[in-house]
Structure 1
Amino acid sequence: MSTFITTFKEGNKEMKQQLGGKGANLAEMTNLGYPVPNGFTIHTSACSLYQRDQKLSDTLKNDIKKHIQTIERETNKNLGSKSNPLLLSIRSGAEISMPGMMDTILNLGINDEIAYELAKKDPLFAYDLYRRFIQMYGNVVKGIPMEKFDKIYDSFDTINTDSLLTIINDYKSLYQAETKETFSQNPYHHLYEAIESVMASWGNERAVYYRDVNNIHNIKGTAVNVQTMVFGNVDEHSATGVCFSRNPSTGKKELFGEILWQAQGEDIVAGTHTPLPIQSLISKKPELYEQLHHLVYELEKHYKDMQDIEFTIESNRLYLLQTRSGKRTPQAALKINRDLFDEGIISKKELILQTNEHDISGALHAEFNIDTVNLATEIGHGMNASPGAAVGRIAFNKEQTLDYVENGYNVILVRHETSPDDIQAMDQAQGIITAQGGMTSHAAVVTRAMGKPCIVGSNDIKINNQNEVIIGQKTYQKGDYISMSGTTGTIYDGKLVLETQQKPKEFDQILNLGNKHQTIKILANADTPKDIKTALLYDAKGIGLVRTEHMFFDEERIRLFQQMILSQTSEKRKIALDKLLPVQAEDFYNLFKANGSLPITVRYLDPPLHEFLPNSPHAIKSLSDDSKISVVDLKKQIQRLQEVNPMMGHRGIRLGITYPEIYTMQTTAILIAALKHYNENPTIQLNINLMLPLVSDLKELIIMRETISKTIKNYESKHQVSFNIKIGTMIELPRACLIADEIAEHSDFISFGTNDLTQMTLGFSRDDIHSFIDDYGQKGIYKNDPFKTIDTDGVGELLKIAVQKARSIKPQLPMGVCGEHGGDRTSIIFFENIGMDYVSCSPYRVPNAILTSAKIGFQ
C-alpha cells in the first residue's frame, strides 16, 4: 500500500478518514464482489499537503503513474492509447459527505487522436465525449465560466457529427482565448491538473460555506478518486441513474430513483434532461432491475442504513459508482430507523445511536415543500435560532401584527430586536426575524419556548423608520409577503408552500426506548401551563426553570409591574405588590396544576427593571395617565432606572437585597398557590424548588435565604401545613463558581445559568456576538458559537471547579444546568461527564436532549 494511495482492492469502509466516504465505500463494494469500475483513491492527507504547497509533489505524481499502469494491466487499456484508450473519472470525496460542493472531471484521457479513432466506430459518441471533457476541464480546472460553453452549445439547433466537430473547435478557441494557451493533448498533463483542481476545490467558497453551516470541522480535506470510466451514453442499451433503498421523503421501503438512457451521470444531476422513474427499468431491462434491486438491499443490510446509490449501465452491464447513507426528511429518517429496527437490520443500540437529533427536532415543525424551495428566490440569511417555517405579511410592531391577524392574515414580525413589550406580537406572529441579537437573545429564547420559527442577527436586514425594510437587495413595505425557514436561517421572497408536519408515531416509539437509557435527567424551561404541557408531552421529567419575569408580559400585568417599579417608597411599592400578589398566586397555581407532582424550579425575578418600562412617547404618556405621574417626572424616573450595562447591573438577587418585599411577595404567591393545589389534590405531593439568581457572595445568599425561609415558616405555621420546598442557588458568575463550596453549604441545590456564565466569563455580549462570531469561526478561534455549545476550555473549567467544590461539602447535592446549552448535544455530553444530575432546556428541545442522554447511556 502506498503512503498516499490505496487501491479499491486494498481499502474498506472503515477507512473514511483517509479515503473519504466515497473512496472507502467504493473499496468496500469492490471487496464485496460488487460490479465497481477499477480505480484507486488518493488520501485526504495528500490534499492537506496540496493545500500547503499548492502543487503535487514529484513523488506523488510518480506514485499516481504507477497506479495508472496497474489499472492498465488489469483492464487491458492504456492512458493515451489510440487503439484501446483508458478514460478516467476524477472525483472528490471527503470523510463527511458534501454533495455538490467540490469538483468532478469525467472522460479524462481523450484527445484529438483518440476522439478521431473512437469516431471510426461511433462518431456521435466519440465527439460528444470530447466535447464534454473540454467543457468540464475548461470550467473546473481553468475556471472558464460554464455559461460561455453553454452559449456555444445552445447556438446549434441540431447536434450531429458536423455540429459536434464545430463545437469542439469553438470550445478550443474559447479555451485559448481565456487561458492564453492551446488545449493540451497530453493525458497525464490533464490528469495531474485535474487532481490538483479537485484538491483545490476543498477551499472553494461553496465548500467552505457548507462546512461552516453544517459545523464540519477537523477533517483533513478531500480524497481524490481516480476510476475507470464506464459509459451510460455509449448505445441504446446504456444509461445512468440514481436510486435510494427507501423513499427519502416518506421513508417507505421501495426502490426510489430515476434513470436516464444514453446519458452520463452529470446529465441527471444537472437537471438538463428529464429522467424516467427507476421502475421503468422493470419493463425495459427486467434482469438489470432485479440485479440492481438485489444489490441495493444487500448494501442496505451491510451498511445498516438507507442507501443512496449512483449506477451506470454500459451496454447491458450494471456498474455501481457510489453508495452512501441517503439524505432524507426528518419524518422519513425516523420511519426508516424504526423500520430497520423492526426488520432486525439494526439493534436497539444502533437505532438510538443513528437517530439524529436534528431529525427529532425537524419532525415537529412545518417546513416548505421542497419543490417550491428549489424555485424560490433567496433574499437573506441569519442565524437559525428556532426551527420550522412560516409564510406571512411583514409587520414591524404589535399594532400592525394584531391588525393583520384580526383581518385573517398570517404575519412575520420583523424587528431590530425584540423585548418583553413584543410578547403579544410574537405570540400572534407565525415567525420572527430580527436584524440584531444572538442565539440566546430574547427573540431566540422566547420563540424556541413557543415552538415558532425564528431567524436572528441577520446582516441582510436593514429597517428604516418608514415602515419598510431592505432585505438583501430589495425593499419591502409592511404587508408584503415573505417566507422564512428557521431551520436553515433563510429568508425568501413571496409565499412558499408549507407542508404540515404531523408528529410521526416513530417519534414516540424511539423516544420511549431512549427514555429507558437516560444517564442524565432531562427537565424543561417553561413559564406557562401551555409550555409545561408541551414539555410533558415530550416526556420531560419536570420543570427546571420558571422565569417569573415572563409572567408580567401581559399588557395588564406589565402595567401593575411598572407601577411597582416606579414606587419610590416601600409603602407604595407594597401597595403595588399587593395588587400583583393574587395575579402571581393564580399563575403559580396553574403551573403547579399542569405539572402535577414532578419537580418544578421557580426562579425569582431576575432582569433589569428598566426593561419593563416604556420608551416611546405614546407608551410613556399612557403610563403617565394610568400612574398619575406627570410625563416629566415619569421620564426622570425612567432615566434614573436606566443602566449603562444592565446585564451586570441591578438584577437577580440584587433586587431582593434592595427590595426584599418583591421576593417576599413572590414567595407568598407560591405558598398561596401550593395551598390551593394541596386543598384540591391532597394526595399529590408538590416538589417545589425556589432559586435565587445571580448570586455572587455568600452573604447575599444567607440574607435572602433567611428572608424566604421566614416567610415560608410563618405561612406554614399560620395555615398548619408543611410543604416540600427547597431553596437553591443559580450560579451565573465566575466568582460564584470559585466559592461554590461556601454556596453549597447554604443551598439545597445548585443550577448553573450557563448563558450568563458564558457572557460573564468570555466578556461577550450574547446579544451582539453575531457581529463577529463568524469571523472567529473562520479563523479557528472558536469552533462553535459559545452561546450554542459550551466553551469547555474556559466556562467548562469553571463548571468543573464549582462541581468539585460543591460536592466536597455535599456529595449528594443536586446540580444541573438551565439554559440554551441544556438542549445542545455536545454540551449535554460534557455536563454528564463532569457529574451534572440534570439539564433543563426549551420544551421543543427536550426530545433532542432525551436522545442525546440515551446515546450516552449506550456508549
Structure 2
Amino acid sequence: MLSTPDFTEITPTAEVRTSTHGNRAKCLQRLVRLDLPVPKTVALRFETVRAIAGGRMPDIRALLDVFGQGALLSVRSSSQMPDWGGPGTILNIGMNDEKATELAATHGQSAADALYVSFIRAYAVDVLRLDADPFEGPITPRLAKSAFEAEMDEPFPQDPCEQLAEVLKSMARAWEGTTARLLRQAQGAPADAGLGLVVQEMALGIGQGLSGSGVVQFASPETGEAQVTGRWLPQAQGRAALSETDAQFIVSDKRGKSLEDVAPEQVAALKSAGALMRQRLREEMQIEFTLMNGHLSILDAVRCPRSGRAEVAVAVALAEDGIITTDEALLRIPPFTLNQLLHRQVSPIAARDVLTRGIAASPGAATGKIVFSASAAQAMAAQGEPCILVRRETSPEDIRGMHAAQAVLTERGGMTSHAAVIARGLGLPCVTGATRLMLDSRKKTLTVPGRKIFHEGDVITVDGSTGDVLAGAAEMVEPALGGAFATLMDWADAARDIGIRANADTPEDAAMAQRFGVDGIGLCRTEHMFFDPARLTVMREMIFAENPSDRAAALDRLLPMQRADFIELFQMMQGQPVTIRLFDPPLHEFLPGDRDGIRALAEALDLPVSRVQSRIESLQEFNPMLGMRGVRLGVTVPEIYEMQARAIFEATIKASRKGAPVVPEIMIPLVSARREVELVKGRVDAIAAEVRSKTGQDFTYRLGVMVETPRAALRAGEIAEHSAFLSFGTNDLTQMTYGLSRDDAGRFMSAYVQQGVFPEDPFTQLDVDGVGELMHLGADRGRRARPDLIISICGEHAGQPSAIAFSRKAGFDYVSCSPFRVPVAKLAAAQLSIQDKNLPVDPKVSV
C-alpha cells in the first residue's frame, strides 16, 4: 500500500474518511473490506484537490506507479455528501498510440479505435473545454488527433503523466467555479466544502469474450419492493447502459435480451454482492459494474435512487429485517417525503408542458376541466366530470366548489391564503399566486401570455407539489397509505412525545384525520358549516334582522343544523378532545357581491333590491380582517355565540349517551383583552347552566382562547385567568406581527427572501425570532397565572418540522394541522424525540 500526504491507495486498513476523502472514496473502501472485486483505487484528499486547483500538483509519477506500467485509469469525483455533486467521470486516461497498438492486438482494431477516439473526445471537450463539433461523428483516432492539433496547435499528448495531470487540474478547478459552488450550496453544502478524487484502474468492459458494463439495484426505484432492476450493455463502458436504446435487462425478461441469459453465474454474483451490501452497509445500493472476458469488476456503489414511496418501503424493510433499528428507519425519511405517498403525483417520467408556475400551496396533483365558479364546479361534479376550480382568489363562498373540484388554482394569494388553507384541509392540490395568468371570469377565459387562450371545459393539470400548471392531462402516480407507510406511522406514534391533532371543519375532514390516527381535533372552524345553500339563506336572514329577537328567530332555525354537525363530529371522535372555534369571519363574507346574487337574495328575503344593496354596503369594511369579526361579533352580536354554545352542549349530551363522555373545548377567536373573554365566558356558562337545567344532564367543557393578536400574547397572563387553554393561531399572529397581508405578500416575498430581508417566507416557516418570541412570552405568562394551562399551535405552521421543534422546546402540549399534514408532523415529532436521545443520525455502515 502506498500512502502519502496527498493520496492513499484504498485498502481495508487505509486511513480513508468521508470527512477528508469524500463519500465515494469511503464507500469504495467499504466494498474492499467486504472482499468484493473492486479494481485498484487511489484516493486524493480534499486538501490535495484544493492545492491542485491552486497550481500545486502532487507527485503524478508516484501515483501512476501504484497501478504499474501501461494501466488505463479513470478519475471520479468524491464529494463529502453524494447530493453535492462534482465533475463528471473521465475514462481511459493513459490511452495513447502505444496503448492503442497493444489493445488492437488483444482486443481487435475496432475496439482499440473506439477506446482511443472516446478518450480523445473526452480529453478535448471535458478536460480542455474545446468545442465539441470537430470531435463528433464516426471519426478515426487519426482524424481525432488531427482535430485536436488543429484546435490546440500541438499534438495530442502521449504521456500518461501529462494526461492525468490535466484531468486532475480540470476537475479541481471545475469544483471551485462559481456555478458549481452555487449548485452545491443549493443542496446544503457549506461554501468551503471540499472535493476528493478517486483514481481507479479501468475495467474496460470491452473485449473479445463476454464484456460490457451495467448498473443494477435490488429494490424497485418506484415502490421499494425487492426487485432486480437495471440495464446492461455489451461492449460498453461507464453508465452508457442506462441511456442506450439497445441496452439489455439484467435478469431474464420476456421483453428482451438479458445478461442472465448468457451469464447466470455473474448475475448470481451480483445478487450476492447486493445482499452483502444491504446487510453490512445497511442500505439498498446501486452497483456499477463491468465484465471483461467474463470477469466481474465492481466499480462503484451508491445509495440507490428512489421515489418517496420507495424510500419509506426500503427503510421499513431494513428495520423489519433487523438490519437497522426502527429509530434509524424513522430518521432516514425526510418528513415532506411523505407527501408523495399521501397524494396523487405527476409521474416523474411524464411529459410536462408547463404553462406557468405559482406557489406550491397544497401538495398533490390533479387533472380536470377548467371551471370559473363554485356553482360550475358543483355542476361538473354532478355529471361525474373532474374539474379544476380557477379563481382570482377564493372566499368562504367557494367552499362547496372546492369540495367538488379536484384541485384549485388562484391568480392571487400565498401559502396561508384562504385557498391554500382550505385546500390543505381537504387534501386538494392547490397552486396560488399564479400571477402570470390573466383570468376573465365574465368571458370564462384563462390566458397564459405567449400561449393559447383556455376556455371553460379545457383540460389542465395542477401540480401542487411543484407549483406548476400543465397543459392537458399528465400521467399520474396513485397514493399509497397502507403497508410500509402504516408501519412507519405506528413507529412514529411510539417515538413522538408531543400531541398531534388535526384541523377539521367537517365530518369528512374528521374521518380523514382519524385515518391518520390523530390525538383529537385541535381546530374546527364552524363558519364553514354555514355555506351550504340551505343554511346560507337562513344565515343571510339573520344578518338582515333588524333586532335581537329577529336574529334569534333565524338562529333558532340554524341551531338544529349546528347541533347535528357537532353530534356527528363528536361521535366520530368519541373519547378524543374536539376544539370548536366559535364564529370568526366578518358577516359581509356571507353576502353576495354581484348583481345577480343581490337580486336573488332580495327575492329570497322578499325585500327591495335597493334595501339589500344598502345593507350590504353598510357591512363593508375598509380592512375586514381587522374589523368586525371574531370575538368582536361575539360581544356585539351575542346571539350567534349563544346559539353555537347551545348546539355544542346539546350535541355533547346526545353524543355522550353512546360512548365515552364528550368534553368539548370551546375556543374564542381574535381575542385582545381579558374583558372580551369574561363577557363571552359569562354567556357560554349561562347557556351551559340552562342546558343542564333543561335536560337534567351534566357535562364538562373547557373554554379557551385562540391567540392571534400580539396583544393577546403579551396579556396572556390575565387572559389565562379565564381560559383552560391557549392555542396560537399563527396565520393571523404572523400577519399582525409583521403588518403583512398573507394574501398579498406573495407578490414581493421572493424578492425579500432573495435579498436577505427575511431568511424564509414567514407564512411558510414559523418566524421563531419574532412571532416565536411573542409565543414564548404568551406561554410563560399564561402558565405563571395558570400552571395547568394547555398550550398549542393551531395555525398552518403547525405541520412544519421547524414549528414542531419550537413547540417541543417551548413545552407546548400539542400542535394541530391540516389532516394531510398529520403524517408529516408525526414523523417530524418522532425524529426530534429520537435526536434528543443523542442517538447517531443514520449510522448506515458496520464495516
State the one-letter code of the partner of 1:238.
S
Which of 552, 555, 578 does residue 533 from structure 2 map onto? Answer: 555
Deviation at 1:793, TM superposition (A): 2.0
Residues 603 and 693 in structure 1, CA contact (< 8 A), matched pair in contact too: yes
Distance verdict in 2 for CA 1:380–1:229, change over 3 Å: farther
1:335 and 2:307 correspond: no
Deviation at 1:535, TM superposition (A): 0.9
Which of 25, 40, 46 does residue 43 from structure 2 map onto? Answer: 40
Q: Secondary structure at the match of 1:88?
A: strand
Map 1:536-575 to 2 at 5 A. 536-575=514-553
Residues 8 and 42 in structure 2, CA contact (< 8 A), matched pair in contact too: no
Q: Distance in 2 between matches of 1:12 and 1:395?
A: 66
1:662 and 2:640 correspond: yes
Which of 501, 509, 515 does residue 493 from structure 2 map onto? Answer: 515
Runs of at least 5 residues in structure 2 that lack an aligned partner in the other structure: 253-257, 836-847
Map 1:334-413 to 2 at 5 A. 334-371=312-349, 373=350, 375-413=351-389
Give the aligned length.
817
Match of residue 709 from structure 1: 685
Alignment deviations for residues 800-849 of structure 1 (CA, whole Å, 9 cap, x no partner): 22222222222222111112222222321221111011111111222222
Pairwise CA RMSD: 3.4
Alignment deviations for residues 262-283 of structure 1 (CA, whole Å, 9 cap, x no partner): 2232423445653433553334
Deviation at 1:30, TM superposition (A): 4.2
Alignment deviations for residues 225-283 of structure 1 (CA, whole Å, 9 cap, x no partner): 34225254432533222222312223222332222222232423445653433553334
Which of 696, 716, 721 does residue 740 from structure 1 map onto? Answer: 716
Q: Distance in 1 between matches of 2:537 and 2:147?
A: 76
Deviation at 1:775, TM superposition (A): 3.5
State the one-letter code of the partner of 2:232.
I
Match of residue 97 from structure 1: 83
Map 1:50-69 to 2 at 5 A. 60-62=54-56, 64-66=57-59, 68-69=60-61
State the one-letter code of the partner of 2:237.
Q
Which of 59, 68, 88 does residue 74 from structure 2 map onto? Answer: 88
Residues 727 and 748 in structure 1, CA contact (< 8 A), matched pair in contact too: yes
Match of residue 249 from structure 1: 222
Residues 8 and 41 in structure 1, CA contact (< 8 A), matched pair in contact too: no
Q: Distance in 2 between matches of 1:184 and 1:798?
A: 69
Distance verdict in 2 for CA 1:329–1:766, change over 3 Å: same
Deviation at 1:220, TM superposition (A): 4.9
Residues 223 and 309 in structure 2, CA contact (< 8 A), matched pair in contact too: yes
Match of residue 779 from structure 2: 803
Match of residue 75 from structure 1: 67
Deviation at 1:205, TM superposition (A): 8.0
Alignment TM-score, normalising by the size of structure 2? 0.87
Q: Distance in 2 between matches of 1:183 and 1:456?
A: 59
Which of 610, 630, 649 does residue 671 from structure 1 map onto? Answer: 649
Q: Secondary structure at the match of 1:313?
A: strand
Alignment TM-score, normalising by the size of structure 1? 0.86
Q: Secondary structure at the match of 1:746?
A: coil
Q: Distance in 1 between matches of 2:131 and 2:723?
A: 67
Q: Distance in 1 between matches of 2:266 and 2:53?
A: 43
Deviation at 1:526, TM superposition (A): 0.6
State the one-letter code of the partner of 1:643.
E
Residues 52 and 169 in structure 2, CA contact (< 8 A), matched pair in contact too: no
Query: Percent identity over the alignment?
Result: 31
Deviates more, 1:193-202 or 1:746-755: 193-202
1:626 and 2:626 correspond: no
Deviation at 1:759, TM superposition (A): 1.9
Residues 4 and 60 in structure 1, CA contact (< 8 A), matched pair in contact too: no
Alignment deviations for residues 416-474 of structure 1 (CA, whole Å, 9 cap, x no partner): 22222222221111122223222222222212222222222234533345333234742
Map 1:441-480 to 2 at 5 A. 441-465=417-441, 466-471=443-448, 473-475=450-452, 476-480=454-458
Q: Distance in 1 between matches of 2:206 and 2:618?
A: 82
Deviation at 1:574, TM superposition (A): 2.9
Residues 388 and 406 in structure 2, CA contact (< 8 A), matched pair in contact too: yes
Distance verdict in 2 for CA 1:620–1:27, change over 3 Å: farther
Deviation at 1:622, TM superposition (A): 1.7
Deviation at 1:721, TM superposition (A): 2.3
Deviation at 1:284, TM superposition (A): 2.6
Residues 105 and 140 in structure 1, CA contact (< 8 A), matched pair in contact too: no
Alignment deviations for residues 686-743 of structure 1 (CA, whole Å, 9 cap, x no partner): 1110011111122222222222222222332333222211111111222222222222
Q: Secondary structure at the match of 1:606?
A: coil
Residues 828 and 849 in structure 1, CA contact (< 8 A), matched pair in contact too: yes
Match of residue 705 from structure 2: 729
Residues 13 and 28 in structure 1, CA contact (< 8 A), matched pair in contact too: no
Match of residue 805 from structure 2: 829
Match of residue 171 from structure 2: 194
Q: Distance in 1 between matches of 2:141 and 2:156?
A: 19
Residues 380 and 472 in structure 1, CA contact (< 8 A), matched pair in contact too: no
State the one-letter code of the partner of 1:793.
D
Which of 218, 221, 225 does residue 197 from structure 2 map onto? Answer: 225
1:22 and 2:24 correspond: yes
Residues 415 and 763 in structure 2, CA contact (< 8 A), matched pair in contact too: yes
Q: Distance in 1 between matches of 2:44 and 2:639?
A: 72
Q: Distance in 1 between matches of 2:53 and 2:143?
A: 40
Match of residue 206 from structure 2: 234
Match of residue 263 from structure 1: 236
Distance verdict in 2 for CA 1:645–1:304, change over 3 Å: farther
Alignment deviations for residues 135-175 of structure 1 (CA, whole Å, 9 cap, x no partner): 556665677787x579x42xxxxx4xx556446655776x6
Runs of at least 5 residues in structure 1 that lack an aligned partner in the other structure: 48-55, 78-83, 154-158
Residues 392 and 412 in structure 1, CA contact (< 8 A), matched pair in contact too: yes
Deviation at 1:656, TM superposition (A): 1.4
Deviates more, 1:630-639 or 1:795-804: 630-639
